[in-house]
Amino acid sequence: MAVHRGVLAAVALVVAFGLSLSWLWASVALLVRDPAVVTSIASVVLMPLSFAGNVFVQSRTMPGWLRAFVNVNPVSHIATAARDLMDSTGATAGEAGMASGSRNGRQRKHRRPL
């Protein structure tokens, strides 16, 4: 069974992001030195990032104030990049976007709601 290169790239991107977060929390743990406090800090930071993003709900259905937060949320950027990598049809995203004359050199497809 052949695996699409975009899927492998998306998995690599998500693993790299997870690794960077683990190093961030390891450095926080070195400063704080109490596992319960590190867990609490991580929960306070990661819960809003996880649930206030475009992972579960499309951002166009959100109110304006929440959409502004989603647009700067790093989890939303990773999720969007992973979706775009897995959604490629063989041509690079830049080539497909330039050919259609879309904004930012990317071609956006309409997705069904979750």
Distance, first Cα to last Cα, the chain: 27
pLDDT of 113: 58
Decide: pTM greater than 0.85: no
Residues of the chain with pLDDT under 70: 1-2, 89-114
* 107 residue type, one letter: Q
pLDDT of 103: 46
Distance of alpha carbon 11 from alpha carbon 16, whole angstroms: 9
- From 95, 78, 86, select the one nearest 8 (Cα to Cα): 86
Distance of alpha carbon 59 from alpha carbon 78, whole angstroms: 14
29-39 burial, b at 16+ Cβ within 10 Å, e below that, comes to: beeeeeeeebe
pLDDT of 31: 95
Distance of alpha carbon 38 from alpha carbon 87, whole angstroms: 36
Distance of alpha carbon 41 from alpha carbon 112, whole angstroms: 35
